[in-house]
Structure 1
Amino acid sequence: MLVKAAVSLPLTITAEDLAALIAERDALAGALRVANAQRDLALERLKALQRQLFAAKSEARSLDQKDLFLNEAEQLAPTDQTPAAQTEKEESTSVAGHQRKKRGRKPLDAALPREIVRHELPEAERVCAHDGHALVEIGAEISEQIDVIPEQVRVLQHHRVKYACPCCDLSLKVAPAPARIIPRGLLTERAQAWVITGKYQFGMPLYRTAALLRRFGGDLASNTLAAGVVRIGQAVQPVINLLRDHLLDSELIYGDETTVQVLKEPGRKAQTKSYMWAQMNGTGPPVRLFAYAPGRGAVHAEKLYAGIRPGTTLMSDGYEVYNGIAKAGGLTHLGCWVHARRPFIKAEDAIPKAARSQDQLASRFVRLIGKLYRAEALAKDWSPQRRLRLRSRYSRAVVREIEGLLLTHLHRVAPSSLLGEALHYLHGQWPKLVRFLDSGTWPLDSNPVENAIRPFVVGRRSWLFADTVGGANASANLYSLIETAKANNIEPYRYLVALFKKLPLAQTVDDYEALLPWNIALGEA
Structure 2
Amino acid sequence: MNHEIISNELDERSQVLIEKVEEMEKEIDSKNKEIENLKNELEFLKGIISNKNKKIFGASSEKVDANQLCFFNEAEKHSDSKVEEPTVEEITYKRAKKSNNIGKKDNLANLERKIIEHKLEGDDLICDKCGSELVEIGVKSRKEILIYIPGKLIVEEHVLYSYACKTCEKENEDSKIVSPEMPKTIFYNSMASNELIAHTIALKYLHAMPLYRQQSYFDMMGATLSRQTLCNWTMSAAKALEPIYNYMKKELLNRNYIHADETTLKVINDNGKSSKSKKYMWLYMSETNAKPIILYDYQNTRSSSCPKAFLGEYSGYLQTDGYSGYNSVSEATRLYCLAHIRRKFYEIVENLDKEALKKSRGVIGFNYCEQIYKLEKELRETYSSNEDYYDIRFNIRKEKLEPILDNFIEYVETEIKNALPRSPLGKALDYAKKHLPGLKNVLLDGSLEIDNNAAERAIKPFVIGRKNFLFANTAKGATSSAKLYSIIETAKANKVVVEKYLVYLFNNLLNIDSNNSEALENLMPWSSSIPDNLKIKIKK
In the superposition, the TM-score normalised over structure 2's length comes to: 0.73
Q: Spell out, residue by residue over 1:370-402, the C-alpha distance to the aligned partner (whole angstroms, 9 max, x if none).
A: 121121121121522322232122222222332
Paired with 1:273 and 1:186, the residues of 2 have a C-alpha distance of 37
> Given the alignment, which residue of 451, 458, 478 partners 2:457?
451
Once the two structures are TM-superposed, the CA of residue 466 in structure 1 deviates from its matched residue by 1.0
> Given the alignment, which residue of 294, 298, 301 partners 2:304?
298
Which consecutive residues of structure 1, in runs of 5 or more, have no partner in the other structure? 1-10, 71-148
Alignment of 1:348-387 (within 5 A): 348-349=349-350, 351-353=351-353, 355-357=355-357, 360-380=360-380, 381=384, 383-387=389-393
Paired with 2:530 and 2:390, the residues of 1 have a C-alpha distance of 34
**What residue is the counterpart of 2:105 in the other structure?**
none
Paired with 1:341 and 1:355, the residues of 2 have a C-alpha distance of 21
Alignment of 1:510-521 (within 5 A): 510-519=518-527, 520-521=529-530
Report which of the two has the higher share of strand. Answer: 2
1:258 aligns with 2:258: no
Paired with 1:356 and 1:177, the residues of 2 have a C-alpha distance of 77
Specify the SS of the correspondent of 1:277. Answer: strand
**What residue is the counterpart of 2:339 in the other structure?**
338
**What residue is the counterpart of 1:506 in the other structure?**
512
Alignment of 1:438-517 (within 5 A): 438-507=444-513, 508-517=516-525
Alignment check: 8 A CA contact 1:262 1:472 kept: yes
Alignment check: 8 A CA contact 1:250 1:284 kept: no
Q: Spell out, residue by residue over 1:486-516, the C-alpha distance to the aligned partner (whole angstroms, 9 max, x if none).
A: 1111111111110111112221332222211
Bigger drift between 353-362 and 399-408 goes to: 353-362
Q: Check 1:64–1:189 CA distance in 2 against 1; reply closer, same or farther (3 A cut).
A: same
> Given the alignment, which residue of 272, 281, 289 partners 1:276?
281
Q: Check 1:55–1:68 CA distance in 2 against 1; reply closer, same or farther (3 A cut).
A: closer
Q: Spell out, residue by residue over 1:55-99, the C-alpha distance to the aligned partner (whole angstroms, 9 max, x if none).
A: 0010123567999979xxxxxxxxxxxxxxxxxxxxxxxxxxxxx
Specify the SS of the correspondent of 2:51. Answer: helix
Q: Check 1:184–1:415 CA distance in 2 against 1; reply closer, same or farther (3 A cut).
A: same
Alignment check: 8 A CA contact 1:41 1:417 kept: yes
**What residue is the counterpart of 1:104 in the other structure?**
none
> Given the alignment, which residue of 230, 235, 255 partners 2:235?
230
Bigger drift between 154-163 and 443-452 goes to: 154-163
Higher relative contact order (CA 8 A, sep 6+): 1
In the superposition, the TM-score normalised over structure 1's length comes to: 0.75
Q: Spell out, residue by residue over 1:286-328, the C-alpha distance to the aligned partner (whole angstroms, 9 max, x if none).
A: 11111111111111111110252x3x11111111022231xx2
Once the two structures are TM-superposed, the CA of residue 25 in structure 1 deviates from its matched residue by 5.0
1:47 aligns with 2:50: yes
> Given the alignment, which residue of 304, 311, 318 partners 1:314?
318
Specify the SS of the correspondent of 2:155. Answer: coil
Which consecutive residues of structure 2, in runs of 5 or more, have no partner in the other structure? 1-12, 74-148, 535-540
Once the two structures are TM-superposed, the CA of residue 179 in structure 1 deviates from its matched residue by 3.5
Matched-pair identity in %: 28
Once the two structures are TM-superposed, the CA of residue 340 in structure 1 deviates from its matched residue by 0.9
Specify the SS of the correspondent of 1:317. Answer: coil
Paired with 2:401 and 2:68, the residues of 1 have a C-alpha distance of 17
**What residue is the counterpart of 2:246 in the other structure?**
241
Whichever residue aligns with residue 266 of structure 1, its letter is: N
1:34 aligns with 2:37: yes
Alignment of 1:1-400 (within 5 A): 26-62=29-65, 151-164=151-164, 166=166, 167=169, 172-266=177-271, 269-282=274-287, 284-308=290-314, 310=315, 312-325=316-329, 328-329=330-331, 331-349=332-350, 351-353=351-353, 355-357=355-357, 360-380=360-380, 381=384, 383-400=389-406
* Count of residue pairs the alignment pairs up: 431
Alignment check: 8 A CA contact 1:179 1:505 kept: no
Paired with 1:396 and 1:300, the residues of 2 have a C-alpha distance of 33
Whichever residue aligns with residue 217 of structure 1, its letter is: G
Bigger drift between 222-231 and 396-405 goes to: 396-405
Q: Spell out, residue by residue over 1:434-487, the C-alpha distance to the aligned partner (whole angstroms, 9 max, x if none).
A: 121233222111111111111111111111111111111111111111111111
Once the two structures are TM-superposed, the CA of residue 417 in structure 1 deviates from its matched residue by 1.6
**What residue is the counterpart of 1:428 in the other structure?**
434
